[in-house]
């Protein structure tokens, strides 16, 4: 069995995004045994200039080479090693305010370390772990002796890795070859891959902004579920039309078809930019969640505690953000891409624009945060009780 590096990411390689530079300090090879055969994967130990650590994971699956990122978090409701050892597939779990269920239990081993591995990691180390999930949340709990570590994880694309470390994608793809680390034998296909969260944008939130603790080994997970794709519900409103909502007169400035990449789902919706009689902006959204046909009105606001884009990018699922004295839990992390914009103002055409964000709701209050590298906007609003289409009159002919 060869433990040579199967990728183009090398020790000493650096990558910079949004002003934060990471260096690859080391690479570890880990594995699990399934029915007498061993499955291996690689973990790259990354560290920022400020000393913050994260781990980039590479593996070869039945679908080909894949990249993942795992970050350690402190649970809101801690779990002991004794409690973790009692968990079985299907058992409920709540560590960060989100209910999940255990999906896999296993044990990993460190087979090889090149360069500097994560703090406390040595060749031969073994760790028990289980995976748990529900909706947008994926959690891995690992324990050795009395020490317990909890992780959140996401999947990233090879193109993102190439961009991060300034590697030609063709070279990265050539080195990301399934002839390298894989099963040493024939294993059951039902347990042959790591957990996938298809949310390329979310990885940027975690990899380049999150402030996290040093991490140790990461854990193989369950077979990937297919990403769900949902098209946008129809909108029959014209740019320039005027109407009254919640007692205010609005004009439709633009209609943007937006695609959101969330955990396990890619969906589209229409976001209509409005302007009231005082010149203030608002968002009229058709379809707050994937598959929904509701209408939501949101206006610009500021949270009780202001955030910069890096601070917002470090927000995790389940965190409560104070809005108008009402804490709103974050239930979605996403990357938003503007696919098409219908607007009379050429300067306001944001086709191709990419934002990162999070959103949440209490049942009454809706919250939306979106940012790019240096700018961030927060919106607060609610779901409308009636379809606003009928209240907007067509624009006047010029």
pLDDT at 56: 87
Identify which of 272, 267, 266, 201 has the alpha carbon closest to the alpha carbon of residue 236.
272
pLDDT at 152: 79
Average pLDDT rounded to a whole number, residues 331-337: 87
The token pair at 216 is 């140790």
Q: What is the pTM of this model?
A: 0.49
Confidence band (pLDDT; 50, 70, 90) for 383?
very high
**What is the bridge-based pairing of β-strands 53-61 and 37-48?**
antiparallel
pLDDT at 170: 56
Alpha carbon separation from 115 to 5, 27, 185 (Å, rounded): 12, 6, 28
Per the CB < 8 A criterion, the answer to whether 28 and 110 are in contact is: yes
Q: What is the pLDDT of residues 229-269, one digit of tens each?
A: 789 999 989 999 999 999 999 999 999 999 998 766 789 99
Q: What is the pLDDT of residues 122-138, one digit of tens each?
A: 999 999 999 888 765 67
pLDDT at 325: 67
Q: Which of 25-39, 54-68, 70-84 has the lowest mean pLDDT?
A: 54-68
Q: Which of 100-104, 219-223, 258-262, 345-349 has the lowest mean pLDDT?
A: 219-223
The token pair at 365 is 């209050």
pLDDT at 87: 94
Distance CA 344, CA 118 (A): 54
Highest mean pLDDT among 66-75, 249-258, 322-331: 249-258
Q: What backbone torsions phi and psi does residue 216 show, to the nearest 5 degrees?
A: -115, -145
Q: What mean pLDDT value characterizes the chain?
A: 79
Residue identified by tokens 């209408």 is 295
**pLDDT cut 90: percent of the chain above it:** 35
């Amino acid at each position: 069995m060869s433990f040579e590096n199967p990728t183009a990411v090398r020790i000493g390689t650096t990558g910079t995004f949004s002003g934060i530079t990471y260096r690859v300090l080391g690479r570890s090879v880990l594995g699990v045994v399934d029915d007498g055969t061993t499955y291996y994967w690689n973990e790259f130990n990354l560290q920022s200039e400020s000393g913050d650590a994260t781990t980039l994971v590479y593996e070869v699956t039945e679908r080909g080479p894949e990249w993942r990122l795992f970050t350690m978090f402190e649970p809101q409701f801690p779990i002991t090693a004794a409690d973790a050892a009692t968990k079985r597939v299907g058992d409920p779990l709540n560590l960060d305010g989100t209910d999940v269920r255990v999906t896999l239990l296993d044990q990993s081993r460190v087979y090889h370390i090149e360069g500097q591995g994560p703090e406390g990691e040595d060749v031969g180390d073994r760790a028990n772990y289980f995976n748990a999930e529900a909706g947008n949340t994926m959690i891995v709990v690992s324990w050795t002796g009395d020490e317990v570590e909890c992780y959140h994880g996401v999947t990233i694309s090879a193109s993102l890795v190439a961009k991060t470390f300034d590697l030609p994608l063709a070279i990265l793809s050539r080195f990301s070859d399934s002839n390298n680390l894989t099963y040493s034998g024939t294993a059951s296909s039902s347990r042959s891959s790591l957990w996938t969260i298809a949310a390329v944008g979310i990885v940027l939130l975690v990899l380049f902004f999150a402030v996290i603790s040093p991490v140790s080994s990461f854990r193989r997970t369950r077979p990937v579920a297919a990403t769900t794709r949902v098209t946008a519900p129809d909108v029959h409103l014209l740019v320039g039309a005027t109407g009254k909502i919640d007692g205010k007169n609005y004009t439709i400035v633009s209609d943007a078809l937006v695609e959101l990449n969330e955990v396990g789902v890619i969906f589209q919706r229409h976001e209509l930019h409005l302007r009231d009689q005082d010149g203030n902006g608002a968002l009229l959204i058709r379809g707050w969640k994937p598959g929904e046909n509701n209408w939501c009105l949101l206006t610009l606001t500021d949270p009780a505690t202001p955030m910069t884009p890096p601070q917002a990018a470090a927000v995790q699922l389940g965190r409560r953000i104070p809005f108008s004295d009402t804490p709103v839990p974050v239930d979605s992390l996403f990357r938003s891409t503007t696919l098409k914009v219908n607007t009379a103002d050429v300067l306001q055409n944001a086709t191709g624009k990419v934002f990162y964000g999070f959103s949440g709701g209490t049942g009454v209050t809706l919250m939306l945060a979106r940012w790019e590298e240096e700018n961030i906007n927060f919106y607060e609003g609610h779901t409308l009780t009636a379809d606003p289409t009928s209240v907007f009159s067509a624009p006047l002919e010029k």
